[in-house]
Amino acid sequence: MSLYQFLYIAAAAGFILALKWMSSPATARRGVLAGQLGMLMAVVGTLIRAEIFNYEWIAVGIVLGAVIGAPIAIFMPMTGVPQRTAISQACGSLASALIGTAEYYKLQPHGFIMSALIVETLLGFVTVTASIMAWGKLQEVLPGRPVTYKGQFFINMAVLASAIALGIFLVFNPERTDLYPIFVVLALTFGVFLILPIGGADMPTVIALLNSYAGLSACAMGFALDNKLLIIAGALDGSSGFILSVIMCKAMNRSFANVLFGGFGQVQASVAGTEARPVRSATPEEAAQILETASTVVIVPGYGMAVAQAQHKIRELADALGKKGVDVKFAIHPVAGRMPGHMNVLLAEADVSYDKLIEMEDINPEMAMTDVVLIVGANDIVNPAAETDPSSPIAGMPILTAYKARTVMVIKRSMGVGFAGIDNDLYYRPNTLMLFGDAKAFTTSLVKELTAT
């Protein structure tokens, strides 16, 4: 066995262990380290292969990648992680697609290799534009609401079918290089069309699904290049992304067909146009008094916490309540935020203990016995309409049943709707108090009031 083969086997083991260990918060850091070491061995193993005879351009690529990647990793705020993930997927998919393109024009292979190249480039180019579109919606440089038009589904399917048909033709006629650019344009176009009808509420699932596509593209590239490590890594990435997408869809009571072609996230005029209803609000002093006298408090983080960068202040609030004998837990909804595990990442950054993070299925039975539920910037994931209004766009979506608590307090800038574009009945219930303001500033005031008494 050559050295590079040994390194490839060790790298594959590292990738597998990384996924295994990252499935538990207690071993997640070990999993990240295993993945990093696995990737290092994969890169080193590739660089020492006999096929590599010129390191100059490789060195240029490493330097450019470091110059671009290091500042992104260092200065990217936690609220930008979903956008960074989308762009990273676009870059990885573009690399895969360009490698496949180069192999096609260089070799014009036949049979299985050509089939693998077509799958690789189709998935790669689709993921490139789809990920860029996802970034645009997450960054709000593109409309966050679904963009729909008459006959959209059939147009999308026609573009995809044309790309697949042309790809199959190229498999049997690889010498028709003049048709390949048309194949690329169709794949890129479908990537755009794929994301247009998807609203912001579905973005966590979309990110996971695009990650799966990128992994499958890399897996196909492994077959095309006869690189077993790429096959393993791509298969792991593709399958884990697919499984995560299924989990996310289940958490939202959604199907893949609805996510890809539905209208979830559209503002309903009938709801948006309802007359204003009275709400009860409270000052930081009043809210602190309620929290201080509670025995149990459940904090529900949402994207508003991420936008305000309030996770550290939320931890200080939990610590202050804990010193007063209050039992504090964090209720985590699987689709809170804009990417899978977004809230877990933010709270981990603030050094919130993992044993305080309780999943939806485990915390919901405790809600009716909870003195105070403090919602920080969450909206749709606590909307009772999911359980009470069969006509609601989120009907059937599992939610955190915060409305069952004795007192509900919501830190929010305004009465604006969430990604689903519908009003939240929770805000108008008699046991709810609205705490209007920036999440970080309001939480700072709460901490100040609690520590002063």
The lowest-confidence range among 201-205, 219-223, 317-321, 360-364 is: 201-205
pLDDT for residue 348: 85
The confidence band for 257, taking pLDDT boundaries of 50, 70 and 90, is low
Please state, in angstroms and rounded to a whole number, the distance separating the CA atoms of residues 251 and 35: 27
pLDDT for residue 415: 80
Instruction: Taking residues 93-105, report their average pLDDT.
Output: 95
In the residue annotation, 380 being an active-site residue is answered as: yes
pLDDT for residue 269: 40
Please state, in angstroms and rounded to a whole number, the distance separating the CA atoms of residues 356 and 345: 14
For the domain made up of 277-452, give the CATH fold: Rossmann fold (3.40.50)
DSSP string, 400-413: --GGGSSEEEEEES
Instruction: Identify whether the C-beta of residue 155 lies closer than 8 Å to the C-beta of residue 148.
Output: no
Which residues, other chains included, contact 192 with Cβ-Cβ below 8 Å and sequence gap of 6+? 129, 130, 133
User: Does residue 218 carry a pLDDT above 80?
Assistant: yes
Q: Name the residue with higher pLDDT: 248 or 144.
A: 248
User: Does residue 267 carry a pLDDT above 60?
Assistant: no
Q: What is the mean pLDDT of the chain?
A: 88
Instruction: Taking residues 335-360, report their average pLDDT.
Output: 85
Please state, in angstroms and rounded to a whole number, the distance separating the CA atoms of residues 450 and 446: 6
Q: What is the pLDDT of residues 181-212, one digit of tens each?
A: 999 999 999 999 988 887 666 677 788 889 99
Please state, in angstroms and rounded to a whole number, the distance separating the CA atoms of residues 61 and 99: 14
User: Does residue 127 carry a pLDDT above 90?
Assistant: yes
Please state, in angstroms and rounded to a whole number, the distance separating the CA atoms of residues 379 and 305: 11
Burial class (CB in 10 A: 0-12, 13-18, 19+), 124: buried
User: Does residue 80 carry a pLDDT above 80?
Assistant: no
The whole-model pTM stands at 0.79
The confidence band for 321, taking pLDDT boundaries of 50, 70 and 90, is very high
Q: Both tokens of residue 359?
A: 């999943």
Instruction: Taking residues 67-89, report their average pLDDT.
Output: 83
Instruction: Taking residues 71-79, report their average pLDDT.
Output: 79
Instruction: Taking residues 17-21, report their average pLDDT.
Output: 93
Please state, in angstroms and rounded to a whole number, the distance separating the CA atoms of residues 331 and 250: 18
**Helices 203-225/81-107 angle, 10° precision:** 30
The confidence band for 258, taking pLDDT boundaries of 50, 70 and 90, is low
pLDDT for residue 265: 43
The lowest-confidence range among 55-69, 126-140, 241-255, 324-338 is: 241-255
Instruction: Taking residues 249-254, report their average pLDDT.
Output: 70
202, 237, 380, 423: which is the annotated catalytic residue? 380
Which residues, other chains included, contact 338 with Cβ-Cβ below 8 Å and sequence gap of 6+? 82, 138, 200, 203, 204, 207, 303, 306
Q: Both tokens of residue 373?
A: 């539920």
Edge-to-edge order in the sheet of strand 407-412: 357-359, 327-332, 296-301, 372-376, 407-412, 432-436
Q: What residue spans define the domains of the chain?
A: 1-71, 89-265, 277-452
Q: What is the pLDDT of residues 423-450, one digit of tens each?
A: 898 999 999 999 999 999 999 999 999 9
pLDDT for residue 263: 44
User: Does residue 411 carry a pLDDT above 80?
Assistant: yes
